[in-house]
Amino acid sequence: MNRAAKGFPPVIDAEIKTLILGSFPSEKSLREAEYYAYKQNQFWRLVGEVIGEPLLPKMDYAERKRMLLKHHIGLWDVVGACEREGSSDSNIRNQRDNDFSGVLSKSKKLRRVFFNGKKAAQKELIFKSRYETVVLPSSSPANTMRFEEKLKQWRLIARKTC
């Protein structure tokens, strides 16, 4: 049985220069009302390594979000609501995408959009004409790529743009 679920609001401010887009929160994230709450997901560890801040699961969630914004990084998902059994992106049905117009109008300094995995990257064309875009390997534990290999690609987030 599929359940209708609604995602989270964006983590943004007027100062973000980079936006990381995921697909849709996992069941654990929806229960906890936190992006990437599933401890086996490597998102917070990857971003923490990239920005040089220890974004550990034991750190207060509000503080992790503040650290992203301190480093001018925003966070959101491409899917705003859907039906899905389990947490797999392949199970997403009746997908309703987020409307990015408000985020893009508020974030005048935005220059780069990174996609956390292939599902999120399905919306790359929306951004490609105005921003630098990069598809990253998914931080999900379903992606069995070694952490060090993922990190090499995620380090592009720290690269300064012209």
pLDDT at 58: 84
Beta-carbon contacts of 31 under 8 Å, excluding residues fewer than 6 positions away, are: 37
Cα–Cα distance list, 130 to 83, 108, 127, 135, 150 (Å): 31, 11, 6, 16, 26
Virtual torsion, Cα 152, 30, 35, 22, nearest 10 deg: 50
To the query of whether residue 41 is one of the catalytic residues in this protein, the response is: yes
Among candidate residues 41, 98, 116, 143, the one labeled active-site is 41
Phi, psi of 4 (to 5 degrees): -75, 135
pTM of the model: 0.93
The topology under which CATH files domain 3-158 is Uracil-DNA Glycosylase, subunit E (3.40.470)
Residue 121: predicted pLDDT: 96
pLDDT tens-place string over residues 97-115: 999 999 999 999 999 999 9
The ranges of the chain with pLDDT < 50 are: 1, 162
Sheet order of strands, 132-136 included: 73-77, 18-22, 112-116, 132-136
Q: What is the pLDDT of residue 117?
A: 94
The pLDDT of residue 81: 84
